[in-house]
Homo-oligomer: A and B are copies of this chain.
Amino acid sequence: MQQALELARKAVEIGEVPVGAILVKDDTCIAATHNLREQSGNPIAHAEVLAIQEASQTLGNWRLTDTTLYVTLEPCPMCAGAIVLSRIPKVVYGASDPKAGSAGTLYNIVQDERLNHQVELVSGVCAEESSALLKSFFKNRR
């Protein structure tokens, strides 16, 4: 999670919302990303989606079996849906997101038994650091 926080800090430097993500398989980092919506002009360029795309390209497979996703903020509906679609077995996240959180807050899409994949979930890891980064970013942008 410290690596993901480091990426979130890098996002701030280029004016992006500070959310970082790391995808790990067999103790190896296979994707390291942060938000890129503004720079890329792409509304779906959230850290998690970029990590999933990077990892599936690296592995040459859309199924990200035996991986763990570390992300500094609770995934939104889009990212939670992407996590289910890519069959990521475990997600560790930092701060909860009261506005769009879809791994326990507004929804729990990643553990919905009506969908065809459920995720093991760990929340609140380095939550304060993650939350402080976001608060400071939005305060400075006002």
Contacts and interface: CB of A to CB of B under 8 A. Distances in A.
A57 interface: yes
Interface of A is mostly: loop
A79 interface: yes
Q: In the complex this chain forms, how many copies of it are found?
A: 2
A38 B80 CA distance: 21
A44 to B, nearest CB: 5
Contact of A62 (B42, B78, B82, B115): B42
A99 B116 contact: yes
A43 B86 contact: yes
Interface residues of A, number: 39
Interface in A76-110: 76-82, 84-87, 99-100, 102, 106-107, 109
A140 to B, nearest CB: 20
Interface of A: 37-38, 41-46, 49, 52-53, 56-57, 60-64, 76-82, 84-87, 99-100, 102, 106-107, 109, 112, 114-116
